[in-house]
Structure 1
Amino acid sequence: MAKISIIIPVYNVEEYLTECMESVVRQTLHDIEIICINDGSIDGSLDILKEYAAKDHRIIIVDKENEGYGIGMNIGLSKASGEYIGIVEPDDFVPLNMYEDLYDIASENKLDFVKADFYRFKRNENNGNMELTYNHLSPHKEDYHTIFNPSETPQAIYYIMNTWSGIYRREFLNEHHIRHNETPGASFQDNGFYFQTFVYGKRAMIIDRPYYMNRRDNPNSSVHNREKVYCMNIEYDFIREILTRDKKIWNRFKYMYWYKKYTNYTATLNRIGNEYKKEYVNRFSDEFRRAKELGELNRDVFSDARWQDIQFLINDPEGFYYRMLTSGYNASAELQKLKNSTSYKLGRYITKVPRKIKQKLK
């Protein structure tokens, strides 16, 4: 049995895959298996994987038709035989000592999982230099380097959400059947996996050393996709279904569920095309109005500004939408449409004389 099984879900990433594979095969921890799930790539990704597999017996390739991230990841989890499991996205890479360091910490402390701080990066288009942003999982120093019980610590959901900056004990994942959502074509299916590890984990630790290198300049990444509008909504329906299986778990985590849902729905508004934003705001408002009616929102988990935004969203979704536009909330095209409308032009015409008088007075 390997110490760590590393799962790499691959789909049309030939531009970045060599850098990723080099960082994994050259790990200082040699006792690893590397499970590469080729999800129907139509570029040169599979050829790159075969070249590495021909030179390294630790590499296992699963070549399958394109079915989506969740299905591919779950195949990798079912094939893994390592004591712990790591995840590396194929356009990212990891420092060579990452898995040896994390394995030593996890095995010494008998952890269900350990996670570390990480970098987000992008390459400068002009000179090729790497621009790094350090990401702390928690803003509180006291949260680090101490064993905690995630299942009894719902506030740990505040930590930056990711599934790849750490490793997970395989028996822990299998015991609780922690897997990814398998909705075909969906994105952000790591959210459900993240929630499950915190809901069921008993021994965990976070480390204030950055290892994982998370790319932010891949134009094909889901975080840049303007067309996938309701993927996050589907994922949070999946998470809710899991949490509500046990009334005690739901009552313990429901407030943090709505907190994470709010932050990720807000991120979705920033991401999607302008033509979808108004419809999305209405859906956003309906879901949170229902949560308020059911008593599932807790004022204490939100900042003052976010709580005020939620009340505005619930009570006046149209006003929320237009405030979003006029505040420059990533919607310049929609704002231009508004300016070209008859009502806007009429309003500008009516106020033309008062505005000119005001300018002269100034």
Structure 2
Amino acid sequence: MSESIPEVRPAVSVVIPCYNVEAFLPEVLDSVLGQTLENIEAICVNDGSTDGTLAVIERYAAKDPRVVIIDKPNGGYGHSMNRGMEAATGEFIGIVESDDFIRPTMYEKLYAAAIEHDVDFVRSDFTKFKTGDDGERVFWEEKLTPHDEYYNAVMNPAENLDVFNMQMLNWTGIYRTDFIREHRIVHHESPGASYQDNGFWFQTFCWAKRIYALPEAFYCYRQDNAASSINQNNKVFCMPDEYAWIREFLAANPELEKRFIGVFHYKKMHNLNFAFSLLAPQFQMPFLERYAAEYREAERLDELDKTLFWPEEWDALQQIMADPRAYCAEYNYQIEKKTAYNKAHEAGSLALFRFYVKYEGLRVALGAAARRLRGR
């Protein structure tokens, strides 16, 4: 009687949320299944796709037993991520968005670092890319943090709140599965919403005691998918709703609330500003009115830590709280002015002169013209 061979636990479970990504899916699956760390599983969560997404996943699963399929009705990004993480059997959990791809050594190197340094999670730099009109891709690398000393070092976020300023991108790393489950770290589930990765990101930094960063770019982040949430401006309150959910998480954990409430409001400010920058004009004032009201309440409760803000950030926040309408008008004026300058600069000297007359006055326009003449 032959002895049964025990199953080997995957080193990394890679969760791939999928919704109508038939065109992108082969590239991401090839990149995940082609990892130099072969002991992985690829958990593909089909979120009620209406195109050929499920057929693509099934084709790959038929060829590679490491592909796990979860097929469910549409429930949104957070719901898909939570179902995928629940199904994970690996020591660590990774995330790959279905319109991106990863370099071959990503999980080998992240896993080696996580094991060597016994950390709750490890993250790394990443690469952005776009496809030009000629079909050629353009790549450029992004740093996780500008602080060289934060790389190749074990850190505790509670002892250095500045590490919360690392880029908020969950897919650059892997997370110890036991750590995720011990602290019940999940994504916010709200069908049709965006920015549901923010809550997961914040929870991991609040609970972690040991984190690590690698100064190498493995993840390739697509910038030209129009369906991506970063390219949509119609989801007005998704970001403040996500931070309301994070605020509930802190309220349910008083020790974390006491330690991290200041940095919560600081990170919230950054991300509300980002969401505001994407809004169409008709949505700006309702958004800013809620923004101002929430921060006035935070100030009343003495939850804002001025020391975490740069002076210009603090001044802008005070302007929003004091008069959101005036802030909105000034913001749009500055956008209009910058756009007008760029157009004038391309059009030539006469257009630039007219720009300065309109926006800076005749004296400044004449001075600019004189400097240009002297520079010839």
TM-score greater than 0.5 by the shorter chain: yes
Shift in Å at residue 169 of structure 1?
0.5
Q: Specify the alignment match of 1:319 in structure 2.
A: 326
Distance in 2 of aligned mates of 1:198 and 1:150: 6
| SS of residue matched to 1:188 | coil
Change in CA separation of 1:159 and 1:359 when aligned onto 2, cut-off 3 Å: closer
Q: Specify the alignment match of 1:215 in structure 2.
A: 222
The letter of the residue matching 1:247 is P
Distance in 2 of aligned mates of 1:27 and 1:193: 25
Change in CA separation of 1:317 and 1:53 when aligned onto 2, cut-off 3 Å: same
Q: Specify the alignment match of 2:3 in structure 1.
A: none
1:101 partnered with 2:112: no
Shift in Å at residue 12 of structure 1?
0.8
Distance in 2 of aligned mates of 1:295 and 1:236: 18
Change in CA separation of 1:292 and 1:30 when aligned onto 2, cut-off 3 Å: same
Taking the TM superposition and a 5 Å limit, the aligned residue runs for 1:53-92 are 53-92=61-100
Distance in 2 of aligned mates of 1:275 and 1:114: 41
1:205 partnered with 2:212: yes
Note the residue ranges of structure 1 that are not aligned, 5 or more in a row: 333-351
1:240 partnered with 2:258: no
The letter of the residue matching 1:11 is Y
Distance in 1 of aligned mates of 2:313 and 2:136: 36
| SS of residue matched to 1:328 | helix
Is contact 1:270–1:330 with CA below 8 Å preserved after alignment? Answer: no
- The farther-off stretch of 279-288 and 78-87 is 279-288
Q: Specify the alignment match of 1:341 in structure 2.
A: none
Aligned CA RMSD, in angstroms, stands at 2.1
TM-score normalized with structure 1 length: 0.89
Distance in 2 of aligned mates of 1:217 and 1:357: 43
Shift in Å at residue 150 of structure 1?
2.6
- The farther-off stretch of 17-26 and 242-251 is 242-251
Q: Specify the alignment match of 2:313 in structure 1.
A: 306
1:46 partnered with 2:40: no
Note the residue ranges of structure 2 that are not aligned, 5 or more in a row: 1-8, 340-357, 370-376
1:143 partnered with 2:155: no
Q: Specify the alignment match of 1:122 in structure 2.
A: 130
Distance in 2 of aligned mates of 1:108 and 1:356: 65
- The farther-off stretch of 272-281 and 158-167 is 272-281
Q: 1:310-354 CA deviation, whole Å, 9 max, x = no partner?
A: 11111111110100110117998xxxxxxxxxxxxxxxxxxx9xx
Show structure 1 runs of 4+ deviating over 6 A. 329-332, 355-360
Q: Specify the alignment match of 1:20 in structure 2.
A: 28
The letter of the residue matching 2:226 is P
The letter of the residue matching 1:299 is K
Shift in Å at residue 166 of structure 1?
0.5
The letter of the residue matching 1:78 is E
Distance in 2 of aligned mates of 1:219 and 1:186: 16
Q: Specify the alignment match of 2:259 in structure 1.
A: 252
| SS of residue matched to 2:198 | helix
Match of residue 289, structure 1, among 270, 292, 296:
296
Distance in 2 of aligned mates of 1:331 and 1:66: 41
Q: Specify the alignment match of 1:153 in structure 2.
A: 160
- The farther-off stretch of 36-45 and 129-138 is 129-138
Change in CA separation of 1:68 and 1:329 when aligned onto 2, cut-off 3 Å: farther
| SS of residue matched to 1:164 | helix
Distance in 2 of aligned mates of 1:205 and 1:138: 12
Q: Specify the alignment match of 2:278 in structure 1.
A: 271
Distance in 2 of aligned mates of 1:121 and 1:222: 16
The letter of the residue matching 1:59 is V
The letter of the residue matching 2:153 is T
Distance in 2 of aligned mates of 1:260 and 1:356: 42
Shift in Å at residue 267 of structure 1?
0.8
Q: Specify the alignment match of 1:343 in structure 2.
A: none
Shift in Å at residue 178 of structure 1?
0.6
Is contact 1:84–1:168 with CA below 8 Å preserved after alignment? Answer: yes
| SS of residue matched to 1:259 | helix
Shift in Å at residue 249 of structure 1?
1.2
Q: Specify the alignment match of 2:10 in structure 1.
A: 2
The letter of the residue matching 1:76 is G
Distance in 2 of aligned mates of 1:303 and 1:222: 28
Shift in Å at residue 245 of structure 1?
2.0
| SS of residue matched to 1:63 | strand
Give the fraction of aligned pairs with identical amino acids, expressed as a percent: 40
Is contact 1:114–1:204 with CA below 8 Å preserved after alignment? Answer: yes
Distance in 2 of aligned mates of 1:89 and 1:76: 12
The number of aligned residues is 339
| SS of residue matched to 1:228 | coil
TM-score normalized with structure 2 length: 0.86
